[in-house]
């Protein structure tokens, strides 16, 4: 992963400053789970990136929803 980042082979088009209110709303919505800031950022990214797929081993992403009731587009091993 470090080599990929060093080669600039991976770019993140997500700016927390620009998405702060939406991320905070997600943390508050899922406060019973609870949702971390990192999870909220990933959920928010799936809302703003066209045709996202989230690669994860974290089962919490089965609980989170996007665009109302849509399940998270995930791939889990």
Which has more confidence, 41 or 10? 41
Q: How confident is the model at residue 8 (pLDDT cuts 50, 70, 90)?
A: confident
Sign of CA dihedral 14, 16, 43, 70: negative
Query: In sequence order, which residues have a C-beta less than 8 Å from that of residue 62 and are 6 or more positions away?
Result: 71, 72, 74
pLDDT, tens only, 20-76: 999 999 999 999 988 999 999 999 999 998 889 999 999 999 999 998 899 999 999
Please check the confidence at residue 11 and state whether its pLDDT lies above 90.
Answer: no
Domain ranges for the chain, please list them: 14-75
**Residue 52, φ and ψ in degrees, nearest 5:** -75, 155
Three-state DSSP at 66 gives: strand
């Amino acid at each position: 992963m470090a080599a990929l980042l060093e080669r600039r082979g991976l770019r993140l088009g997500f700016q927390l400053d620009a998405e702060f209110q939406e991320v905070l709303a997600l943390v508050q919505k899922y406060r019973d789970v609870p949702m971390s800031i990192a999870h909220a950022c990933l959920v928010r990214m799936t809302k703003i990136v066209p045709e996202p797929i989230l690669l994860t081993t974290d089962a919490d992403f089965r609980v989170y929803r996007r665009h109302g009731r849509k399940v998270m587009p995930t791939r889990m091993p």
